[in-house]
Structure 1
């Protein structure tokens, strides 16, 4: 009788035979060469790379020693003195961060895991390898970014539609923008009143947001350069709708669905386009149509601008509709008198994150204080009576600090609750949109009541404030430099060597706000003009880069250009969705030159990016052929293929790649060198 084989022996031979077949089959989806990242040596290599990367992470002491903003340093020491943790304490407490998470090789999508890729286990339980796991994780992050900015767009577009329907009693302040955009979309404007046009435009933009069946993505067709549309069509990455691409991203990455990392990355690119044209472009259009494009203005900036004796209200988040009404109500004689009746000198508005940046050049006296990472430091002054939190970049830890200083926190979105906060919001179905004014009145009333009950709270305000010049838009830039030709001439002559859009989040992996400042210093010194918006703009606002006096930071030729035109060296363009303004100017100058955007001396820099939206924002610019530059690595080091796709592979298809250097000054040097290379290719001086 023959001896039975042990099951493990059979299994082992089966695997060996399958591997043998694959080696001889004409399949190109897998690479079994020694350089493949699934071999033992390469697994050790990526672990070493992650370990080295982790050594670059900043500590709280690094921030105290090197933060460019002295107000940040004072508030960090103040918080330490009173025993309040901040984001910098919690970042240190998380060390050492998980190597598998940093490399992107941890998978917990199904309940057979979680799985991680190591030399011992080069595949997950389902058979997913490092390439697939890293790609799926990256795609889900991109899809989350589309959902976040897409939800922002949805709220704005619904507000636009509700105005058109008469349900929301707000004026349309951007009628010129409305009619210009409608013409671009082929919407007949003759004989149409603004509300009717707003409703038609909202329907078109909402269709791009939520279309379930394949059809033309109208925003891309109307507004994207023809050269780019041709490339995106050839690559088969034109999206169906933002909802569809997020839906499909989660479907593809679910267990046992799409097992090809290259297919996953194609969906990643589709998400980038949906993010760009719905999450950013549609949001920007809707905001400008409802609230106007704003105007050039000057604003006080930084914590030192906080005022004692006033009812101090901070708005924090991204959605402008209710914020606009809160600010309007707070400026009425009725509420100013009510504040004074309770012993206040008046009502003052401040801003954290993008709600502030959208408001500061549309309404007088909304003072920007900080980006999201610094929110706890602002609360720690004890000067805020009411904190209005809507959606995104509102960290739950703010509640701990608010309780310490008896600051009332109000949440205003059904999507974003904070335990212990009061909630005055639109409901899930927006059935109470007609109550916008009532909600705003209640919130301002609560601020006055909070002021009256907080008179025993100690206030500590570091004496640092500057004045910034704000409110740059594509419209007023085109008006100052007609047809963009003077800007083109300055670029061609070399007076301006290049233009960089510097945006993004803040991240405690690097010294808080230091990376942004270091990159900006080097660019300006080399005569490169900077546009900025979003969280990364706060250090530039707070430290004088957005002031006309800041021209002294620029190299001689740029400084002369700025002085001749009475301009600051950094042009502040607003909130995160106002990336559209920078890209419109980029396109306008390129159009005046008759040159594709990808061939111009442009760059996108997001030195401190930290969240899913930041991943998508840089991808959006790369989709236009503009390289993106960062001091923070994406979680892809576990897959050589995916990392190469981001940092090398899209050079041939999109004309742009992602470039990372954890040293801000070295990153700036790379941007400068690449801009000079572009100039040389163009034959410019």
Structure 2
């Protein structure tokens, strides 16, 4: 093995992934880490955000020799426009998922689907908040609420979002109205933002950044909000549960299905079907000990949050991990069927599936691979589609067992990593006696110095791959700052054994005492990246109760291993809420001092929020703590 390979397989933070990664290298496969190395050195101009490919007169690269593009666009304009395009893609993907869920809920309510609602109470509560008679039947309310969400998505930019009117803190609403950030329908905001990105149209870099902030609010008060609420209604609201994580969860003796992506409804239906006598008998007849469905990425977070439900608990096999591991899941050689419904499904999955004998199936029209079959989820065909998936998986298991030459790369120490999952605003409050004032009292007396949401992606840049997430989180809890995880950051926490009460001993003395008193760990996982919406609900609840603006709270956000576009949309959501938002690696903005200074300094005059760009997790923790201490003084906690 060459030196580069020896370095790269150590890129994963957990030992199970490193071992499987080493095996794939020996078998002449390349993963995200090797491909990252092959791309070095990467284009310095592009990394600064100073390249544009929008028109046929390009591509243009800004430099001292050529300080403007052919059209006359400055580096500032190009950097801002490139960043806005990333935010648009992210907000569009979240809105797409929200629209899918609303249409599924409507089909259920209209009686066109056999799927049953798991949390009618939440549906009735939400409809009551909208002024709807909640004594109507659950099906009637499902149609009403679905239509409401679809209408919010489709509103014009001039029509304020009702969810923002209802749930945003009053002080924050005044800020957004004063600064023209009060968003309209997500589709309209996306359309306007995209139009502004056209060549020779919007030529004000700061206006483009403000457009991204406005888009961030549509992202929260339509897309993220709709996703989290509708998923709770259909799947059931999360409850605290102990779960298993990482590659060691995979059982070679069962029919193994992985559901990868962000849309868990279809997977939940498959789990219910898999528990039936029909499919359990079929699996055993094929020589398997049963059927297991495993979660991958944010989908697994959502499934694990409800995995204690009777209909899921015998079938859900565990949450395997984050996107930089997904090639390794297939490389184990024990995965029979791998379903993909949204990001992140890397293009090389087909190469790995062909090598290690896994069947790939896309389950959403947005996900397409050459040579890969599709079963596009349709709530009205849910039963037959779930049965089709299970039948295919059982046949794939038979093929696996008959293949004497199958390459198997399971970790030698096949231990499952345990974690606690299922935290939400509701379950966190339960830990504090169902009284938010108890939590606030612990903040006021300094036992909980503050809180930081550590959320978003993982990436493969040097000294990341989960390392920055781990270091930052440990440093924060050591400083008596509670950490709320979400997305691939939660998977990193879980795979490293950090989502347990054992971590209490790693917390600072004051936070440790609070955790012991209330039986809560210092690191709690809210679930998927879309559960950033739930985290912001918690932030708003704190501000409402204290009587302050969200920007005044001793809280912050961190995206310590930013990778893709949804993260950028969510970052602008946090900035619009007035939060200090740590981002690493920096977005591609360093080529524009104007944009960089606005995001990291001057934006505080607009929303109260700003970006903190710091790659060193220890230094980032220091700055986050300093910010929290300053905010404690601002609202007279200290």
Structure 2 match to 1:683 = 636
Deviations 1:258-278, CA, capped at 9 Å, x for gaps: 122222222111111111122
Structure 2 Cα separation of the partners of residues 433 and 289 of structure 1: 15
| Contact 2:119/2:236 (8 A) holds in 1 | yes
Counterpart Cα distance in 2 of 1:563 and 1:272: 37
- CA drift at 1:183: 2.6
Residue 563, structure 1, aligned to residue 516, structure 2: yes
The equivalent position to 1:367 in structure 2, one of 312, 315, 318, is 318
- The aligned residue for residue 27 of structure 1 is none
TM-superposed deviation, 1:67: 4.2
Whether the 8 Å contact between 1:204 and 1:218 is mirrored in structure 2 is: no
- Which secondary structure state, in structure 1, belongs to the residue aligned with residue 320 of structure 2? strand
Where 1:168 maps in the other structure, the secondary structure is coil
User: Does 2:458 correspond to 1:509?
Assistant: no
Aligned residue for 1:10?
Answer: none
2:346 corresponds to which residue? 395
In structure 1, the partner of 2:482 is: 529
CA deviations 1:168-189 (Å, max 9, x no partner) are: 2211112221122223323332
1:98-109 matches, cutoff 5 A:
98-109=43-54
| C-alpha separation in 2, matches of 1:68 and 1:322 | 31
Once the 2 structures are TM-superposed, how far is the Cα of residue 373 of structure 1 from its aligned partner? 1.4
> How far apart are residue 66 of structure 1 and its match?
6.2
Deviations 1:63-100 (A, max 9, x none): 54464311122122111111110000000111111112
What are the residue-to-residue correspondences of 1:295-314 with 2, within 5 Å? Answer: 295-314=239-258
Q: Provide the C-alpha distance between the structure 1 equivalents of 2:399 and 2:390, rounded to a whole number of angstroms.
A: 15
Q: 1:587: Cα distance to partner? A: 2.2
Do residues 460 (structure 1) and 412 (structure 2) align? no
Partner of 1:673: 626
Contact 1:604–1:627 (8 Å) recurs in 2: yes
1:631 maps to what in 2?
584
Question: Aligned partners of 1:260, 1:520: CA distance in 2, in Å?
Answer: 38
Q: Deviations over 1:332-361 (max 9, x none)?
A: 111011000000011111111111111112
- Could you tell me whether the CA contact under 8 Å between 1:630 and 1:661 is conserved in 2? yes
Q: Shift in Å at residue 666 of structure 1? A: 1.3
The equivalences for 1:263-274 within 5 A come to 263-274=207-218
Cα drift, residue 660 of structure 1 = 1.1
2:192 to 240, 248, 262: 248
Counterpart in the other structure of 2:397? 451
**SS of corresponding position for 1:351:** strand
Q: Is the 8 A contact 1:562 1:568 kept in 2?
A: yes
1:366, distance to aligned residue in structure 2 (A) = 4.0
| TM-aligned CA distance change 1:575 to 1:366, over 3 Å | farther
Mapped to 1, the partners of 2:445 and 2:156 lie a distance apart of: 49
The 8 Å contact of residues 172 and 550 in structure 2, kept in 1 or not, is answered as: no
Q: Is the Cα–Cα contact under 8 Å of residues 320 and 358 in structure 1 kept in the other structure?
A: yes
Match of 2:376? 425
- Residue 310 of structure 2 aligns with which residue? none
Match in the other structure for 1:42: none
Aligned pair in 2 of structure 1 residues 477, 145: CA closer, same or farther (>3 Å)? same
Q: TM-score, normalised by structure 1?
A: 0.88
SS in 2 for 1:299: strand
1:209 aligned residue (153, 156, 165): 153
1:635 is displaced (CA, Å) by: 0.8
2:119 to 159, 171, 174: 174
1:257-656 equivalence runs, <5 A: 257-363=201-307, 364=313, 365-426=316-377, 433-455=379-401, 456=404, 457-462=406-411, 463=413, 464-481=415-432, 482-510=434-462, 511-656=464-609
Q: CA deviation at 1:545?
A: 1.4
**3-state SS of 2:383 partner:** helix
Cα RMSD between the aligned structures?
1.6
What is the CA distance between 1:677 and its match in structure 2?
A: 1.9
Work out whether residues 336 and 358 of structure 2, in 8 Å CA contact, stay in contact via their aligned partners in 1. yes
**Alignment partners' CA distance in 2, 1:313 and 1:77:** 24
1:465 Cα deviation (Å)?
2.4
Say which of 58, 63, 74 aligns to 1:129. 74
Distance in 1, Cα, partners of 2:243 & 2:140: 35
Aligned-partner Cα distance in 2 for 1:579–1:505: 12
Alignment check: 8 A CA contact 1:360 1:366 kept: no
Higher Cα Rg, which structure: 1
Consecutive unaligned residues of structure 2, counting only runs of 5 or more, are: 308-312
Mapped partners of 2:182, 2:551: distance in 1:
19
Q: Distance in 2 between matches of 1:337 and 1:533?
A: 37
**2:84 corresponds to which residue?**
139
Whole-angstrom distance in 1 between the partners of 2:214 and 2:552? 23
Question: How far is the alpha carbon of 1:216 from its aligned partner?
Answer: 2.4
Question: Within 2, Cα distance between the matches of 1:335 and 1:130?
Answer: 60
2-structure distance, mates of 1:213, 1:568: 42
Match of 1:501, SS?
strand
Aligned-partner SS, 2:305: coil
Contact 2:417 2:496 in 1 (8 A): yes
Residues 157-211 of structure 1 deviation map (CA, whole Å, 9 limit, x = unaligned): 111111111112211112221122223323332x311111121111121112122
Contact 2:250 2:317 in 1 (8 A): no
Q: Kindly indicate whether the alpha-carbon contact (under 8 Å) linking 2:456 and 2:567 is maintained by their aligned counterparts in 1.
A: yes
Residue 36 of structure 1 corresponds to which residue in structure 2? none
Deviation, 1:647, is: 0.8
Structure 2 CA distance for aligned equivalents of residues 398 and 111 of structure 1: 33
1:25-79 alpha-carbon deviations (Å, 9 max, x no partner): xxxxxxxxxxxxxxxxxxxxxxxxxxxxxxxxxx875554464311122122111
Q: Give me the TM-score of the superposition, normalised by structure 2.
A: 0.95
SS in 1 for 2:487: coil
Partner of 1:46 in structure 2? Answer: none
Q: Aligned with 1:159: secondary structure?
A: helix
Per the alignment, in what secondary structure is the counterpart of residue 531 of structure 1?
A: strand
Question: Matches of 2:11 and 2:442 in 1, distance apart?
Answer: 35
Aligned partner of 1:19 in structure 2 is none
Indicate conservation of the 8 Å contact 1:228/1:624, yes or no: yes
- CA distance, structure 2, for counterparts of residue 84 and residue 628 of structure 1: 37
Q: What is the SS of the residue equivalent to 2:243?
A: strand
